[in-house]
Amino acid sequence: MADKQYCRYCYGCIEGDCFYCTLHDKVLSEAYIKSPNRCKDYALSSLGDIITGARYKPRRPKPKPTEDAEQMRMEV
């Protein structure tokens, strides 16, 4: 599975009086740029988060539980 993508990390998103997508020519809300999306034109910006400048750090995927982890063992 690919990492999640957010508008705030995309090179097409700029900040001024508002957040604006230069790839789709539309104004974006702060809530929208912070939520995951599936934009086909997304490209990770080398500048990082548009608001803080922090680099994107994907979370490690949670390990899938094994059968032993799902059941408790009872010894008699």
Q: What is the pTM of this model?
A: 0.71
Range of the domain at 30: 5-57
pLDDT band of residue 67 (cuts 50, 70, 90) is low
Residue 1's pLDDT is what?
41
Residue 7's pLDDT is what?
94
Residue 61's pLDDT is what?
81
Residue 32's pLDDT is what?
96
Give mean pLDDT, residues 42-65.
Answer: 87
66 located within any domain: no
Question: Model confidence over 14-26: pLDDT tens digits?
Answer: 999 999 999 999 9
Q: Domain total for the chain?
A: 1
C-alpha to C-alpha distance for 24 and 2, rounded to whole angstroms:
23
Query: Bridge-partner residues for 28, per DSSP?
Result: 19
72 located within any domain: no
